[in-house]
Chain A
Amino acid sequence: MTTTQTPVSAPGARPDVTSLPRRIRSNRSVMHYVGSVLKALMCALMLAFFALPLLWLATAPFDSAPSLSLAWPEWTLKNFKVLIDNPYALRSLANSIILALGVTVIVLVFGSIASYALSRVRIPGRDTLLYALLLLSSIVTGTAAMVPTFQLMNQLGLIDSQLGVILVMAAGVMPTVIFILKDFMDSVPRSYEESARLAGAGPLRILIDVVVPIARPGLATIAVWAVVQVWGNFLIPYILLRSPDKQPAAVVMYTFYTEGGQPNLALISTFSLLFSVPVVAMYFFVNRKFGFRFHGGIKS
């Protein structure tokens, strides 16, 4: 730790240390030593704890005979052939894309016009509404509301419909989307809109041609955030979809290893990798490009 090192390494601090009584000084160097060892130990433990489960994902997909145990692989790409040949694997990834795109489009369109209006016009009860939305999004979680949601979709005849899943998930992320987007809309300078209006543009035109281009980083954040939420979501498609050919990767992945017999590790490992790479790439891309971290949790 630099805090423990500073008195030693920073020249300005050294006289202080030497002027201390000897007992304290030696005590301190012992403490320093113990501190460094503890710190190294802590780092090693954390590395082991977090890396251990992940290593399998890096080796097994490329191993000619993948097993559950960790081993240096005999490199091959033939496992990906198994993946391509499986009738459900690629289709489920396509389904995940459909769900993610569906939700993202809905929340971007509805969310941006709503947050724009909320940002620019003081509708009666606006602030109460915003707080109520924030409260709602944390209370009515997929888990707590799974029974009534399931029953509602049952009554609407939207069980086993991808549209149903999209609507439920879009509603689930919408409050957060509006809350974050309103912040971005607030920061868009109003002078551009004024000139656009003087040029004769209507509110919707101003929103599309002036505000959206400026708020693009905000919209990109939200889009990525929404995709990540939907991409990994297991519970909602699990209870609302029945047919295997409509299920997204999150659910199909689960059936790969739970439904009887020996799990096909060549399939599971490559599928896991293919399923994980897009969200990981998106996260780090956005993180780098726009230089911010997600607040409020990327997963909930």
Chain B
Amino acid sequence: MSQVADPLVATPGSRKGTGRRPVRHDDVAGLGKLRAGFFVAPALALVGLFLVFPAVWTAYLGMTNYKLTGLSAKAPDFVGLKNFTDTLTDPAFHESLKLTLVFVLFSGILGQSLLGFAAAWVLRTTNKVVKSLIEFLVLLAWIIPSSVVSFLWVALLDRGDGTLNAILGTQGTSWLTEYPMQSIILFNIWIGTAFSMLLFSSALASVPPSQMESARMVGANTWQVLRDIVLPHIRGHILTNTLLITLWTFNTFTPYLLTAGGPNHRSEILPVYIYKVAIAGGHLGVGAAISLIMLLINLVIAAVYLRVLRERK
């Protein structure tokens, strides 16, 4: 934690140096430090108990043989690093990690970012009706609750009556069992593109139109305009987008609603794997060990993200 906190403290520290405003100036309601502490306490207590404590506790739980039922549910033994070494050498974990990487890469980093950017780029000059219609649909996909969206995709990809089979003339193709990874990748692109689209359309609005026009004048094609003028302007946005999307895609549980990790573990990304081992399978100790690994990966991504944010300011 402290390694991550260090660069973050630098920002407020530097501000404090230049600011030096009298304390009373801000505190117009006469709160005082003590009372302010009382105001902050309930929120912090809630966060501490239900967010911070579980995260820290995982490290301990991961070193026990806690189970949901049976003898080790009542009196778990301390097993040291056994869960971690077991997990890290378990082929099932490797397989899940591999699927997760593929999922994050194709669904998040490539799929959502590229489609979101393409949408933002194309829509900024499309006629208004088409633009609002597409934006509305993309946003709907994002807002509608995931349980509903999952069923919509079950209906779309259904083997018998599915709309996709009817359109492609491929009756009898069971997409979810034959192409489980491809299905959840597309599914997740469909849900999440809205964020990248919104972010990039505000980013593109910040590129000076005069620069793009003059590039056109000297005969630059679209690709050259994108590469030489647009990309340098929105580099910060691209980084922000990539890191957030990576974090969210890595942590999404929604594909479980579509394939439940199946068939035969073929779409079992890490969140689903943890659920199956720990909650459905009852091996809480092992599950906690995997959770800790996942938290550490999140910590790395988030630390990079905050560092980037700070540098941009």
Q: A128-B9, A297-B244 are in contact. Are A150 and B294 (CB under 8 A)?
A: no
Report the bound CA distance from A128 to B53 in whole Å.
Answer: 18
Select one of A46, A127, A135, A234 contacting B9, CB under 8 A. Answer: A127
Which residues of the other chain, A, contact B31 by a CB distance below 8 angstroms?
117, 120-121, 203
Q: How many A-B residue pairs have CB under 8 A?
A: 336
Tell whether B166 is near chain A: CB-to-CB under 8 Å.
yes
Tell whether A29 is near chain B: CB-to-CB under 8 Å.
no
A2 near B125: Cβ-Cβ < 8 Å: yes
Binary contact track B107-130/A, C-beta < 8 Å → 1, others 0: 000000001001100110110001
Select one of A121, A134, A257 contacting B27, CB under 8 A. Answer: A121
B47 near A136: Cβ-Cβ < 8 Å: yes
Q: Count residues of A near B (Cβ-Cβ below 8 Å).
A: 114
Q: A57-B148, A110-B46, A174-B43 are in contact. Are A152 and B160 (CB under 8 A)?
A: no
Report the bound CA distance from A297 to B142 in whole Å.
Answer: 9
Report the bound CA distance from A106 to B126 in whole Å.
Answer: 43
Report the bound CA distance from A280 to B148 in whole Å.
Answer: 13
Q: A197-B28, A234-B257 are in contact. Are A148 and B190 (CB under 8 A)?
A: no
Within 8 A of A (CB), among B147-179: 147-156, 158, 160-164, 166
A134 near B306: Cβ-Cβ < 8 Å: yes
Which residues of the other chain, A, contact B164 by a CB distance below 8 angstroms?
52
Which residues of the other chain, A, contact B9 by a CB distance below 8 angstroms?
127-128, 131
A50 near B141: Cβ-Cβ < 8 Å: yes
Q: A111-B43, A121-B26, A234-B257 are in contact. Are A250 and B163 (CB under 8 A)?
A: no
B146 near A250: Cβ-Cβ < 8 Å: yes
Select one of A39, A141, A168, A283 contacting B143, CB under 8 A. Answer: A283
Report the bound CA distance from A42 to B190 in whole Å.
Answer: 15
Tell whether A99 is near chain B: CB-to-CB under 8 Å.
no
Tell whether B96 is near chain A: CB-to-CB under 8 Å.
no
B122 near A140: Cβ-Cβ < 8 Å: no
Report the bound CA distance from A150 to B260 in whole Å.
Answer: 20
> From residue B16, how far is it (CB to closest CB) to chain A in Å?
8
B291 near A145: Cβ-Cβ < 8 Å: yes
Q: Which of B8, B119, B225 has the most CB of A within 10 A?
A: B8
A139 near B143: Cβ-Cβ < 8 Å: no
Tell whether A259 is near chain B: CB-to-CB under 8 Å.
no
Binary contact track B207-223/A, C-beta < 8 Å → 1, others 0: 00000110011010110
Binary contact track B59-72/A, C-beta < 8 Å → 1, others 0: 00100001000000
Which residues of the other chain, A, contact B61 by a CB distance below 8 angstroms?
147-148, 151
A143 near B252: Cβ-Cβ < 8 Å: yes
Report the bound CA distance from A144 to B287 in whole Å.
Answer: 10
A4 near B163: Cβ-Cβ < 8 Å: no
Within 8 A of B (CB), among A107-128: 110-111, 113-114, 116-124, 126-128
Tell whether B275 is near chain A: CB-to-CB under 8 Å.
yes
Tell whether B299 is near chain A: CB-to-CB under 8 Å.
yes
Q: Which of B12, B27, B28 has the most CB of A within 10 A?
A: B28
A56 near B155: Cβ-Cβ < 8 Å: yes
Report the bound CA distance from A264 to B263 in whole Å.
Answer: 24
B137 near A54: Cβ-Cβ < 8 Å: yes
Q: A6-B213, A7-B217, A111-B43 are in contact. Are A52 and B163 (CB under 8 A)?
A: yes
Residue of A nearest to B1 (CB): A132
> From residue B123, how far is it (CB to closest CB) to chain A in Å?
8
A106 near B257: Cβ-Cβ < 8 Å: no
B46 near A35: Cβ-Cβ < 8 Å: no
Q: A116-B39, A249-B147, A279-B145 are in contact. Are A147 and B291 (CB under 8 A)?
A: yes
Q: Which of B29, B154, B301 has the most CB of A within 10 A?
A: B29
> From residue A57, how far is it (CB to closest CB) to chain B in Å?
6
Binary contact track A1-39/B, C-beta < 8 Å → 1, others 0: 111111100000100100010001000100100010001
Spell out A's residues near B (CB within 8 Å): 1-7, 13, 16, 20, 24, 28, 31, 35, 39, 42-43, 46-47, 49-57, 60, 67-70, 106, 110-111, 113-114, 116-124, 126-128, 131-152, 167-168, 170-172, 174-175, 178, 190-191, 193-194, 196-197, 203, 206-207, 228, 231-232, 234-235, 239, 249-251, 253-254, 257-258, 268, 272, 275-276, 279-280, 283, 293, 297-300
Apart from A16-B217, A117-B40, A257-B154, 12 more pairs, CB < 8 Å: A39-B125, A42-B118, A117-B35, A121-B31, A127-B12, A143-B294, A148-B61, A203-B35, A232-B146, A276-B145, A297-B244, A297-B248
Task: Give 4 closest A-B pairs by Cβ, nearest first.
Answer: A127-B12, A171-B50, A117-B39, A148-B54
